[in-house]
Amino acid sequence: MQSIDVITFGEAMAMFIADSCGPLHEINHYTMELAGAETNVAIGLAKLGYHASFVSKVGADAFGKFIMEKLQKHHVQVDQILTDTLFPTGFQLKSRVTQGDPEVQYFRKGSAASHLSISDFNERCFQKAKHLHMTGIPLALSSDTRNFAKHALSFFKNNAKKVSFDPNLRPKLWKTEKEMVDTINFFAKQANYVLPGLEEGIKLTGFEKPSDIASYYLDAGVELVIIKLGEKGAYYKSAKEEAIINGYPVEKIVDTVGAGDGFAVGVISGILENLPVEESVQRGNAIGALAVQSLGDNTGYPDKQELVHFINNQSQRSVRI
């Protein structure tokens, strides 16, 4: 088994992006791409040269084959993606927009990935991984995926390995907002690094200020909280330091989906290289800025050379607090 820098798990879907602007029901032509927050992170890290493994289930169908081939093309390890002959691969429709967030409709209920369970957990594979990245999406898919997530988190914590957690709130997937908040916070408080967006942080903690949101998780034992502030950059806080790292200017925003996952890619890459927090967050801001300038969830993610070139040719400053 190949070495693994980062392992992640969740649901990969086929994504049909509208070829023209307008309501989804009026679109006749779409382009198929790959979607999934965790696959975005795996692809982004693989592009930077890390060994990334994605754990999931797909159906024995054309979408499942598409996902496997797409991930392999991006050099993501797929040996832990199981094929389920009973349930299908999920997919989604995504509108094309000239500004703002696109409309997205999901067709994922009862998908193969929602049946990922503890019995599918490969201890040997997770043991070989240095870092676990989790999001809140698998927690909402089913009791099976939630139990798998609990098992993966416990395994990593028991082995004194690092875990990053991105809430990635999807309210439509939850029965109630309270269930969403309680469950997400249960997992977030056990992670080493928590990466919410500002609006997510407000909803999860009830606090308005980034410093108070961060303190909520730090007081629970989290090592570092990094809050995404959109075009303003990001705020981070640990027991020792806090700062705002300004974002990079973007002339034209094409598609905002995948920017948060790209941010996670930058931060995790910095953690793997033991960079100062400021430089890790800077990387996150850079990849997020590149991501919003291209269509597709991960098509704008850079390789290592492109990332370094982008950062070196942009002006950015941090604000110590």
Tell me the two tokens of residue 34.
């790959």
Which position has the token pair 């948060």? 260
Q: Which residues on adjacent β-strands are paired with residue 243?
A: 236, 320
What is the rounded end-to-end Cα distance, in angstroms, of the chain? 45
Q: Are 11 and 31 spatial neighbours (Cβ–Cβ below 8 Å)?
A: no
29: burial class by Cβ within 10 Å (0-12, 13-18, 19+)?
exposed
Rounded distance between C-alpha atoms, residue 112 and residue 59, angstroms: 6
Residue 271 contacts by C-beta under 8 Å, 6 or more apart in sequence? 131, 162, 164, 193, 280
Q: What are the catalytic residues?
A: 261
Tell me the two tokens of residue 312.
């070196």
Rounded distance between C-alpha atoms, residue 242 and residue 227, angstroms: 11
